[in-house]
Amino acid sequence: MKKKWIFTIILSFSFASTFACDICGCGVGSYYLGILPQFNKRFIGLRYQYKTLTTHISPDGQTSYLTSDEKYQTAELWGGFNFGSKFRLLYFIPYNFNERQSIELSGSKNGLGDVAFMGYYNLLDKKQTLGSSLLVQSLWVGAGIKLPTGKYEPLEKDLVDESPNNFQLGTGSTDFTLNAAYDIRLMDFGVDVNLNYKINTNNRYDYRYGNKFTTNALAYYKFRVAKTLTIAPNAGVLYETSAQDTEEKIYKIDVSGGYSLSLIGGLEASFNRFSVGGNYQNVASQNLAGGSVKAGDRFLIHASVAF
């Protein structure tokens, strides 16, 4: 019965993706987790993410004089707390650096982004032996909230009416997430899966970013280089899909929504209480804002300490 319940929860998260925010992976509201640092009680760390967008691409895929190149960088304070063996809280405090270059409009904006919290409950924590090998499984499920701490500028949407409303520090709305994290490991080889469904609400200007589904699966292998040093190369996929934005609850925004599929290669290392890592995300397939937007490759680095 318990296995059936677990399967139902995982399936429900997968089904959420069919409902197909902001443009996938850039601007406001990206929730990539990847492999969490190992910690017993709590950890704190810094992450840096780099992403790019090219907008105003013509239907045949060619750029025009209206093309805008946008760059999104985020320095993020993040961390986690374990409350006993069953409850976990993650927090994210981003500071965004946005840049845009075009013939018509160029500029930048820096500032605090939208602060988010994610709570998890440990639904499965199982260890068993398969012959002489140890098999370990864990499943965490939960929910979260994103606060409107980042500045939202309504004039930005009107300024570039034919571009996605992505050049913002925040959405201006209080949003909610459903989350699941599953890890299975046979000795030193494992697979880590994260799922996140973000439910957006209208902001005070009656603009609503479309709901967004994000999932990534990473296979990794832990090499124990020394007694206290572990290196874990990893590879996998990241899939994001989002519905179209709406205005005044009924008008759909054409230059919004879509999907992207990225291939990931990365490396994680841990030494005593310290962890560092990073990955490169190659966008292998995408259809964003009806084809008028193209996302570039991305990368992420992080460092953290458990205490």
pLDDT of residue 102: 82
pLDDT surpassing 60 at residue 237: yes
Q: Once rounded to an integer, what is the mean pLDDT over residues 195-219?
A: 95
CA distance 91 to 146: 10
How many whole angstroms separate alpha carbon 122 and alpha carbon 85?
7
Residue 254: which pLDDT band, with cuts at 50, 70 and 90? confident
The conformation of residue 10, written as its DSSP 8-state character, comes to: H
Choose the weakest-confidence range: 58-67, 70-79, 88-97, 135-144. 58-67
Which tokens hold the place of 235? 């590879």
Structure tokens at 161: 């009416």
Whole-model pTM: value is 0.87
Is 60 exceeded by the pLDDT of residue 59? no
CA separation for the pair 34, 281 (Å, rounded): 12
Taking only the tens place, the pLDDT of each residue in 281-303 is 999 999 998 888 899 999 999 99
Rounded to an integer, what distance in angstroms lies between the CA atom of residue 301 and that of residue 45? 11
Q: Does pLDDT of 168 surpass 80?
A: yes
Topology of the domain covering 2-306: Porin (2.40.160)
The residue extents of the domains of the chain are 2-306
Contacts of 153 (CB under 8 A, 6+ apart): 168
Residue 65 has pLDDT above 90, yes or no: no
